[in-house]
Structure 1
Amino acid sequence: MIKKGMRRQIVLHYILVVFLALLLVEVIFLIVIRTYYYDSIYTRITTQLNQAEYFYRVTSRDSPISLQELLRSFELKDTELQVLTLKGDMITSSTGFQPDRTITTSDVPEAVGGGIGRWVGRQPGTNENVMAVSKVLQIHGRDSYVLRYVTSVEGVNADLFNVTLISVSVGIAVLAVVAAFSFGLANSIIKPLNNITAVSAQMAKGKFNARIKGDYLYEIGELASTLNYLAEEIVRSNQIKDDFISSISHELRTPLTSIKGWSETLISGGYDPEETKLGMSIISKESDRLIGLVEEILDFSKLHQNEMKLSIGIVGVKELLQEIILNLWAKAEKKSIRLVLEAEEGIYVRGDANRLKQVFLNLTDNAVKFSHEGSVIMLSARRADEEKAEIVVQDSGIGISQDHLNRVKDRFFQVDSLNGGTGLGLAISQQLVELHGGTMEIESELGKGTRVTVYLQLAEPSPEVETMGQESLPMPEENHDREEGNT
């Protein structure tokens, strides 16, 4: 007995389907064979009856001699020919016996009614299976006698029984083959599933280095590949999580150490106002840094849980990029990096100004962070087509290798962990751009620089926005000469 499970279900379903199909085919086959044999006998007798009727009608003789001649002339082998009255009483028979009895089978009334009567059943007295076919003989246009053939169908039934045995044997053989085939098919499905289940159980216990081995086909192969990929992603995510925890711990420890050190120093007292001012400045700066880290993590959490709310409005792209340059100008000056803006006039997009500023501030800050001293960072904006604006942040810095380029948008991933950060900046920027219905593309070549392109939907500005857009933000004086002709 097969234990409960998919193997049992597959085998039983296959056998049941094939059994029902075979049963239907065999029943139809046997009915057709039986009908063919019986109809052959009926046709042969009917032909003989028609010939006898024609002969008797042509001779036009109504005497016992004519009936005997009819019996001799149209007798069939292994078949009894009887002449009956219209009431079914037997007059004479080809066997020579004239039993004093009345034939009551259904073929006689059918013949008297004007057709050819047919009856199949057991012969009274002998209990033998027979077929009786009857027809009325007419003399001078009136019914006179009933001519009745009676033949045994025992031989036919024996042949049909043998055919039935053969067909049942063939059906059993087919079922045996199907059962063997279904066992093989079930095993080809169940064994891989058992293997996958065993490996999945190991993964559920935390053994993510376990892998499903075997070259499986079709859906099972896809399932195995998916689980292996899932395990790889979990291992990678765990590694990224560990790296993130290590990185964020370092990022938090550094400002906290500075805050604690200067706090203790200032508490001890005895410092002049300049040193006290310096200490308070460092504490404020490091506090802002901590707030930025916490806000970045909170933003990522909101995006991950689809809880980020946007305040949608009309945003002027040129004015937005000018704000970015103003915010990062001092940081760029420390590395003698030029921030160059090339933006077409009158480009407006629909979005949250603060969140879009966060996106481009992050992209430009990364460009400053990974650019060489004395290099140039280009911020540009133009209409890509009638529906989209193309905004580009391009640097000529250290660039990103192709291996890292495919993962640079992943959360917690850092190309260079020594430069600090949580590894969430690009992941957050990507999701914010997508929330605005846009796309972000990154192109980079190691040692030659990086180009980040953001596509956003264009919007028609209101008159108030156009008026405000004409009042451009002032550029820093020290950088203004460098930007002249580029903005």
Structure 2
Amino acid sequence: MKGIKSRLIVYITLVLLLIVLLLEGVFIGAMHSYYLGTAMETLTSRATTSATFFNKYLEGYSINERARYILENLSREESSKVEVLNPQGAVIINSFGFSSSEPIDTPDVRSALGNHTGTYQNMKPLNGERILAVSVPLQEFGTTIGVLRFSVSAEPLYNVIIKIALNAAGVGLLVILFGFGLSLIIAKRIVGPIQQLTQIAKEMATGNFTIRANKQHNDEIGTLAVTLNYMSEELAKNEKMKYDFISSVTHELRTPLTSIKGWGETLLVGDLSDKEETLQGLEVMTGETDRLIGLVEDLLDFSKFQAGEMKFVLQPYDLRGLLEELLLQFRYRGQTKQIQLYAEIPELPLPVNGDFNRLKQVFVNLLDNAFKFTPVEGTIRFTAFIENKRIVVKVVDNGEGIEAEDLAKLGTKFFKGRSRQSGSGLGLAICKEIIELHDGLLKVESELMKGTTVIVELPLYPVY
């Protein structure tokens, strides 16, 4: 019973068995009622007709005289046992010519002695057989003076009923066997595709994402096959993206390490008295070390977000102060790179409930990207405003932009765009996670060779 197939077979067989047993029971019960009811009606009709006749034409005769007359005028074709009983229930005479002083105390006789027609049917054999009996009162001027009783053996009827019941049981058994065979076919047709999908899922678990499931029917299993194929395609894409990401990060780590190693060897074998060369080498090594630190921090942050271990310290503060601080910091960078930085920050407070350091990380990353991808003599616009009870911050540049195909994947894990600029490609994904954990929204709009707009929306903290 561990497999779906075996459970289906057992359940279908049990249902068929219950249905067959129920129908068999109803059929046998109806047949029993029909045969015995018909026999009882026939017996009642004959007994009532006979009693009516004798009551009408033997009026004035004693019960013993009537008994002899009834016995002498019985039809030779009469198959029933006919008995005439006195008011005490004793048999005066029966159709075999016998009498008995022992009273018959059955429901039909008691009913007839009470001036009503009575019937009797014993389900358990009495003296070796089951009988049907009808008793009708014999009357004299409205007074019951005896009982006319017709009885017949029910054994032939029960033999017929048992024979029919056995035949019905045989038919029922054939139906169950047929249903069992049908359940095997149904279970195979249902479980077969599931077993195929299970095998395909196992192949995918080993890393084989090229395998595909066949959609056999337009049902739930067919939908599952399509979903499994879609999942396989997405996993293959993610796997390729992950390998590309690892390759990119490896390259990004190797570049500063190579530079640091190269300058380190130069300084070791060079003339340390050449102060200018030494300072230049140390400056390059310091810059490359900062790049390494940034890459490692991005990787650490990303792994924390993926594991759900990133902690936030939320507190209300004015976001405007942070934005003005970053504006001063990046204005100098704009001057050194010959990039114009325009800012529009309102004089009104921008209250937000957030983690100061994490939000600073977001805006530093966005401004850093804008400067990285904006050419010399380009422009960057840094604006903030309140709209619909939300703080909206925009970073707009006229740099190289992003291709439409890459724009749809931007911010997803393991994705790095096709830009030749250095970077892990994790920064924007981390920024998106931080903003979403602040119940905010980060959107990117871009057009190739025309520029990029990054929009950050944060809930406005109510100040009372």
Tell me which interval the TM-score lies in, with the shorter structure as reference length.
0.7 to 0.9
Distance 1:273 1:341, change over 3 A: same
- Structure 1 match to 2:372: 369
Distance 1:113 1:61, change over 3 A: closer
Q: Distance in 1 between matches of 2:345 and 2:113?
A: 108
Q: Distance in 1 between matches of 2:401 and 2:69?
A: 120
Spell out the pairing of 1:268-417 with structure 2 (5 A cutoff): 268-344=270-346, 345-386=348-389, 388-416=390-418
- Structure 1 match to 2:38: 40
Spell out the pairing of 1:85-484 with structure 2 (5 A cutoff): 85-93=86-94, 95=95, 97-100=97-100, 102=102, 104=104, 106-107=106-107, 110-111=110-111, 114=114, 116-120=118-122, 127=128, 129-139=130-140, 142-267=143-268, 268-344=270-346, 345-386=348-389, 388-416=390-418, 418-461=420-463
Deviations 1:331-365 (A, max 9, x none): 44455433322344322211011111211222232
- Structure 2 match to 1:62: 61
Q: CA deviation at 1:37?
A: 2.6
Q: CA deviation at 1:299?
A: 0.9
Structure 2-normalised TM-score?
A: 0.86
Secondary structure of the residue aligned to 1:419 is coil
Secondary structure of the residue aligned to 1:459 is coil
Structure 1-normalised TM-score?
A: 0.82
Deviations 1:42-66 (A, max 9, x none): 3343455455555555564232444
Q: CA deviation at 1:27?
A: 0.7
Secondary structure of the residue aligned to 1:452 is strand
Deviations 1:213-258 (A, max 9, x none): 3335434334434443443344333322322222222212222222
Q: Distance in 2 between matches of 1:124 and 1:26?
A: 27
Q: Distance in 2 between matches of 1:215 and 1:369?
A: 52
Secondary structure of the residue aligned to 2:122 is strand
Q: Does structure 2 conserve the Cα–Cα contact (< 8 Å) formed by 1:112 and 1:146?
A: yes
Secondary structure of the residue aligned to 2:317 is strand
Distance 1:76 1:372, change over 3 A: farther
Secondary structure of the residue aligned to 1:440 is strand
The residue type paired with residue 23 of structure 1 is L
Q: Distance in 1 between matches of 2:251 and 2:260?
A: 14
Q: Distance in 1 between matches of 2:103 and 2:81?
A: 14
Q: CA deviation at 1:133?
A: 2.2
Q: Distance in 2 between matches of 1:366 and 1:356?
A: 15
Q: Distance in 1 between matches of 2:429 and 2:380?
A: 22
- Structure 1 match to 2:4: 6
Q: Distance in 1 between matches of 2:414 and 2:383?
A: 28
Q: Does structure 2 conserve the Cα–Cα contact (< 8 Å) formed by 1:118 and 1:132?
A: yes
User: Which moved further from structure 2: 276-285 or 197-206?
Assistant: 197-206
Q: Distance in 2 between matches of 1:441 and 1:121?
A: 87
The residue type paired with residue 191 of structure 1 is G
Q: Distance in 1 between matches of 2:161 and 2:4?
A: 41
Q: Does structure 2 conserve the Cα–Cα contact (< 8 Å) formed by 1:107 and 1:132?
A: no
- Structure 1 match to 2:81: 80
The residue type paired with residue 260 of structure 2 is I
Q: CA deviation at 1:77?
A: 5.2
Q: Does structure 2 conserve the Cα–Cα contact (< 8 Å) formed by 1:107 and 1:119?
A: no
Distance 1:403 1:160, change over 3 A: farther
Distance 1:441 1:149, change over 3 A: farther
Distance 1:33 1:395, change over 3 A: farther
Secondary structure of the residue aligned to 2:246 is helix
Q: Does structure 2 conserve the Cα–Cα contact (< 8 Å) formed by 1:367 and 1:394?
A: yes
Q: CA deviation at 1:23?
A: 0.3
Give the gaps of 5 or more residues in structure 2: none
The residue type paired with residue 284 of structure 1 is T
Q: Distance in 1 between matches of 2:159 and 2:3?
A: 45
Secondary structure of the residue aligned to 2:405 is helix
Identity %: 35
Q: Does structure 1 conserve the Cα–Cα contact (< 8 Å) formed by 2:242 and 2:415?
A: no
Q: Distance in 2 between matches of 1:4 and 1:306?
A: 37
Q: CA deviation at 1:105?
A: 6.6
Q: Distance in 2 between matches of 1:321 and 1:282?
A: 30
Q: Distance in 2 between matches of 1:461 and 1:285?
A: 43
- Structure 1 match to 2:28: 30
The residue type paired with residue 10 of structure 1 is L
Q: Distance in 2 between matches of 1:162 and 1:96?
A: 31
Q: Does structure 1 conserve the Cα–Cα contact (< 8 Å) formed by 2:383 and 2:394?
A: yes
Q: Distance in 1 between matches of 2:125 and 2:84?
A: 17
